[in-house]
């Protein structure tokens, strides 16, 4: 199939890599170069970098809502348009630009978690399973029928880990959908609107930890966090991003002792913070302005931490 691909972040780049090994990708549309990460220099998106490495023409329009942009897309004569985390609303002219339509790789088990942050919302909600759906793009947000899906377990996986896993599954599912479309065997399943939930964007500070959080809530916040939306806390008067935590095992309860909400315990080279219903073990942190470190290195710079007099709280 002649495919025009549209996507921007690493998830989409992984999908593109898998897709290009099985189908003819004639162009990759992605968001324009932007400041990404630290520094002020402009850089291309992961999709742009992948497409250039694979020798695929790259398009970076600022809008797809003018006649010239639509004409340029149609000139590629795609059989299908495939989308994965493009980051731009598609007008009807793009949705209808190819005979086999416009297919989207969506990171949830639709109709659960339509919207911008399905992976993070699945983690925060404590879902047992999530997955990817290959969905037909329609004008209503993530409301199209789906044709192929893959599932995976959620528990214990961070946003980064789950995103990478879903990207691989999404690429494989997309190729299966295109193969079925080409063979004329593709079938569609309508979404049940009664089961619809929306995955709104993660807001600034939403994943910050607080002593009144219960253990599970705090753990899920940390798992759902990433570089863009970290889980902030102040531990022993040090502002940090909490990178990794563990739910308490039997030994943790013994070491933490009477660790009340807001308390800090450092025992047997393990660090615990008291939550609303018990201790949460902190494994790795990133102090403001410093590199990520394990808790032994972090605790080494805090006088009196072994005396169990230190506190923690929100930023």
**Same domain for 163 and 81:** yes
Residue 315 scores a pLDDT above 90: no
**Same domain for 226 and 184:** no
Claim: this prediction has a pTM higher than 0.75: yes
* Model confidence band, residue 35 (pLDDT cutoffs 50, 70, 90): confident
What end-to-end distance do the CA atoms of the chain give, in Å? 52
Residue 227 lies in a domain: yes
Q: What is the CATH number of the domain that holds 300?
A: 3.10.25.10
Residue 304 scores a pLDDT above 80: yes
Give the domain range for residue 229.
215-313
Residue 86 lies in a domain: yes
118 versus 301: the higher-pLDDT residue is 118
What is residue 202's predicted lDDT score, i.e. its pLDDT?
Answer: 97
**Same domain for 81 and 184:** yes
Residue 89 lies in a domain: yes
> 201-254: per-residue pLDDT in tens?
999 999 999 999 999 999 999 999 999 999 999 999 999 999 999 999 999 999
Residues in the chain: 315
User: In the chain, how many domains are there?
Assistant: 2
Beta bridge pairs of residue 152: 130
What's the CA gap between 135 and 146, in Å, rounded? 4
Considering the chain, what is the average pLDDT of its residues? 95
Residue 70 scores a pLDDT above 80: yes
Beta bridge pairs of residue 25: 3
Question: H/E element holding 153?
Answer: strand 146-153
Beta bridge pairs of residue 240: 233, 287
Q: For the residues 164-181, what does the mean pLDDT come to? A: 98
Q: What are phi and psi of 126, to 5 degrees?
A: 75, 30
């Amino acid at each position: 199939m002649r495919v025009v691909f549209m996507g921007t972040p690493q998830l989409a780049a992984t999908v593109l890599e898998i897709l290009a090994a099985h189908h003819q990708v004639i162009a990759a549309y992605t968001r324009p170069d932007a400041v990404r990460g630290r520094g002020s220099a402009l850089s291309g998106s992961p999709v742009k970098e992948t497409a250039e490495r694979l020798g695929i023409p790259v398009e970076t329009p600022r809008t797809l809502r003018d006649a010239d942009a639509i004409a340029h897309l149609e000139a590629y004569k795609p059989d299908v348009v495939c989308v994965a985390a493009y980051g731009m609303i598609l007008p009807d002219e793009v949705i209808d630009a190819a005979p086999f339509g416009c297919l989207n790789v969506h990171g949830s088990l639709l109709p659960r978690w339509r919207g911008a942050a399905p992976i993070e919302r699945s983690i925060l909600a404590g879902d047992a399973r999530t997955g990817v759906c290959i969905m037909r793009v329609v004008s209503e947000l993530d409301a199209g029928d789906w044709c192929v899906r893959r599932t995976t377990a959620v528990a214990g996986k961070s946003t980064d880990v789950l995103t990478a896993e879903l990207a691989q599954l999404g690429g494989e599912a997309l190729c299966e959908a295109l193969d079925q479309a080409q063979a004329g065997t593709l079938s569609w399943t309508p979404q049940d609107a009664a089961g619809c939930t929306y995955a709104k964007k993660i807001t600034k500070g939403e994943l910050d930890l607080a002593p009144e959080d219960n253990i599970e809530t705090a753990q899920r916040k940390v798992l759902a966090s990433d570089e863009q939306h970290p889980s902030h806390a102040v531990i022993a008067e040090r502002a940090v991003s909490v990178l990794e935590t563990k739910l308490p095992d039997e030994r943790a309860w013994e070491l933490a002792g009477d660790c009340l909400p807001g308390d800090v315990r450092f025992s047997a080279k393990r660090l615990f913070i008291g939550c609303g219903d018990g201790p949460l073990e902190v494994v790795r942190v990133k102090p403001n302005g410093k590199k990520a470190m394990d808790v032994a290195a972090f605790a080494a710079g805090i006088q009196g931490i072994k005396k169990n007099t230190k506190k923690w709280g929100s930023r």
